[in-house]
Amino acid sequence: MITADFGIVPIGHESINISEYVTAAVNSIKKSGLKYELTGMGTQLEAEDLDDLYSAIKDAQEEVFKLGVKRVYTVVKIDDRRDRNRSLTDKIKTVNDLLD
């Protein structure tokens, strides 16, 4: 299982509010069929294949461009672990089980 965390920041728009851009990106991810979770600072994804992951992020970025911005800044973190099949939920549970 490949897990990722990413965020897309539109640059050059007139407002400090970016919820319209985030919504467009997340709607695109939703259409990809990949499991995702929106957080306060980005979006987390799960995929079986890197091509599917990259494609979903690319499509999300393109949706932001369609809203009229000329530049976006995208940050992607990927955990591609091949010895175990670990979902985002599994990773959180492991740490929560160790907490006092």
Name the token pair of 95.
């740490």
Statement: 2-98 belongs to CATH 3.40.190.10: no
Residue range 16-73, pLDDT digits in tens: 999 999 999 999 999 999 999 999 999 999 999 999 999 999 999 999 999 999 999 9
Domain boundaries, the chain: 2-98
For residues 29-66, b (16+ Cβ closer than 10 Å) or e, as one string? beebebebeeeeebbbbbbeeeeebeebbeebbebbee
CB atoms closer than 10 angstroms to residue 25: 28
- Tell whether pTM > 0.85: yes
